[in-house]
Amino acid sequence: MSYNTIQLAYDGGVATITLNRPEKRNAISFELIDDLLRALDAVAKSDAIVLIVTGAGKAFSSGMDLDNLKSLLGRTPEQNLQDSQTMVQLFRSLYEFPKVTIAAVNGPAIAGGTGLALLCDFTLATPDAKFGYTEVRIGFVPAIVSTFLLRQVGEKQARDLLLTGRIFGADEAARLGLVSEIVPAENLIARARELAALLMENSSTSLRATKQLLTDHARAELDAQIDSAVRENAAIRTTADFREGISSFLEKRKPVWTGK
């Protein structure tokens, strides 16, 4: 199977997916989402026991691709709903992945990149890694990621991160329990593989059953919350503030909000 925006490699019981758009800081495009979904499906069906997800170059993922972001302004309501459902599919595929997952965050992971990095079972990050749920800063709503973040850090912390849209570093992410370990950049992949080796000393059957148990515990609540999140994610795109947020971001100017 070939991919244009990622690389997929196997080594023993470890599969590694590398987001491979370094010239775009591994921005999330429609094509990358499709590649990721196909790669996740391939790894799920493989003999791999552990999956490592990382980025090529100096960033893990800078968020949504600018060209794709611009195209959102012309999407129909039906396309907006489909886009939201596709993003849910990606995030849930990673959150509910049957194999153990490790994110090796090699640099900034912003907006959707934060979602990908922090939905893995383990998140290793370099000291200069940055995170941020920045959707409100461009007139968007962090509807889908909020359902997962609430489970990870609780309501008060989630309100802070989602409502301010601020960028936060690896140290704070670790204090919040979102990052498992901070690792020097030169040791990041080696440490991820070391953790993978430790995990593979356990029964692969037990690992899979434990992940299934955790998924089953969360499913009913997530189903209800995500159904609402998809509608909110699509609805916000019809607002004037969303159009202004995207336009001002692309034009590199301060937005002028109207509250409509």
Residue 254: what pLDDT? 95
Could you state, in chain order, the average pLDDT of each consecutive group of 10 residues for the chain (260 residues)? 95 97 96 97 98 98 89 86 91 96 98 96 98 95 92 96 98 98 98 98 98 93 88 90 92 94
CATH superfamily of 6-187: 2-enoyl-CoA Hydratase; Chain A, domain 1 (3.90.226.10)
Residue 66: what pLDDT? 85
Q: Supply the residues annotated as catalytic.
A: 135
Residue 224: what pLDDT? 87
Q: Where are the domains of the chain?
A: 6-187
Closest to 59 in 3D by CA, of 17, 15, 19:
19
Contact 8, 37 (CB under 8 A): no
Residue 156: what pLDDT? 97
Residue 187: what pLDDT? 98
Residue 127: what pLDDT? 98
pLDDT tens digits, residue range 115-173? 999 999 999 999 999 999 999 999 999 999 999 999 999 999 999 999 999 999 999 99
Whole-prediction pTM: 0.95
pLDDT tens digits, residue range 177-189? 999 999 999 999 9
Ramachandran angles phi, psi of 213, nearest 5° = -60, -45
Cα separation, 70 vs 68, in Å, equals: 5
Contact 54, 39 (CB under 8 A): no
Q: Which amino acid is at 203?
A: S
Cα separation, 18 vs 104, in Å, equals: 10
Other C-beta atoms lying within 10 Å of the C-beta of residue 9: 10
